[in-house]
Amino acid sequence: MKSISIESSQGVLIDYNLSSVVARFGASFLDMILYYVYAFVVASMFGNFEFAFILPLICLLSFMLYYILMEQYAGGQTLGKKAVGIRAVRVDGQPLSLVDSAIRAFLLLFEGFFTLGSLAILISGTSRNRQRLGDVASDTVVVNVPSKNSLRLSRLNQLEELSKDEVVYNEVLVFSEEDMLFIKNAINEYTKYKDEIRAQIIHSLVEKALLKMDLKIEVKNKIAFLKQLIKDYVILTR
C-alpha cells in the first residue's frame, strides 16, 4: 500500500496510507447519488417555475457548496468520503483552507462531473501520490482514515491482564484519543530517527502533558513517561 509522510504543524512526521483509486471512485459515486437525489427533488419542486432553465446551474453551485462546506467542517471529508473512510489533507500538514476546498470542488466539476469521473481516475491512477488535478492545484492528497479504535484495539491483547488499579496517571483522561495517537507517533518517530529535533519534540510533549494534567513531578525517562500515559489511557477507556 502506497504511503506518504506528512509533517504535522507540531513538527512530527506522520505516515498516511494513500487512498486507492477504487475508494476515491466509491466516495465520488456516493456523493453523486446524493447530488442526483437533491437535483431530482429540486426539479420536482421548481420544474414549472418561470426561471426553471437556471435550475441546472443552481444544482451545480449547490454541489460545489456542499463539497466545500463538508471538507471545511468535517475534517476533509464529504459524506461519500466518510462512508469509505478517506479524507483530504494538505501535503504540508496544515488544515485545509477555504480556498483549497474551493479549488478542489471547482476542478472536480471537470475531472469528475462532466467526464463521469474518467479524467480523475486516469490522472489519480497514474500520478505518484494518486493526485487528481484538484489535489495538485491545492497541494493536497487523499488518505485513508485510521480507525478511531486503532490505538485501543492494537493494545488490548497486551493489556488483558491489567486492571484500573495499575493505572499510574488517572489525569490522562484530560486527553483525547487523537492526542494519544499523536504522542504514539512522536515516540515512533523519535525511536526511528533519534535526532535532536525529535528529542526536543518529546521534551515539549512531556512538559505540555504535565501542564495539562496539572502534575508537578520530575520526569527522568521521558519516553517511559509518555508510554505510561498511553497505557493508562487505553486501560481507562477500553
> Do residue 82 and residue 96 come from a single domain?
yes
> Do residue 115 and residue 157 come from a single domain?
no
How confident is the model at residue 151, as a pLDDT?
44
Give the three-state DSSP class for 18.
Answer: strand
Residue 159, pLDDT > 50, answer no
How confident is the model at residue 228, as a pLDDT?
92
Instruction: Provide the percentage of residues in the chain whose pLDDT is more than 90.
Output: 42
Neighbour tally for 205: CB within 10 Å = 22
Q: What is the dihedral of CA 157, 162, 168, 171, to 10 degrees?
A: 70
Give tens-digit pLDDT for 183-201: 988 898 888 888 888 899 9
Give the three-state DSSP class for 75.
Answer: coil
Q: Which of 111, 144, 177 delimits the end of a domain? A: 144
Q: Which of 144, 178, 194 delimits the end of a domain? A: 144
> Do residue 205 and residue 111 come from a single domain?
no
Give the three-state DSSP class for 214.
Answer: coil
**Boundaries of domain holding 156:** 150-237
> Do residue 100 and residue 130 come from a single domain?
yes
Residue 110, pLDDT > 60, answer yes
What Rg do the C-alpha atoms of the chain give, in angstroms? 22
Give tens-digit pLDDT for 38-94: 878 877 776 666 655 677 787 788 888 999 999 999 989 999 999 999 999 999 888
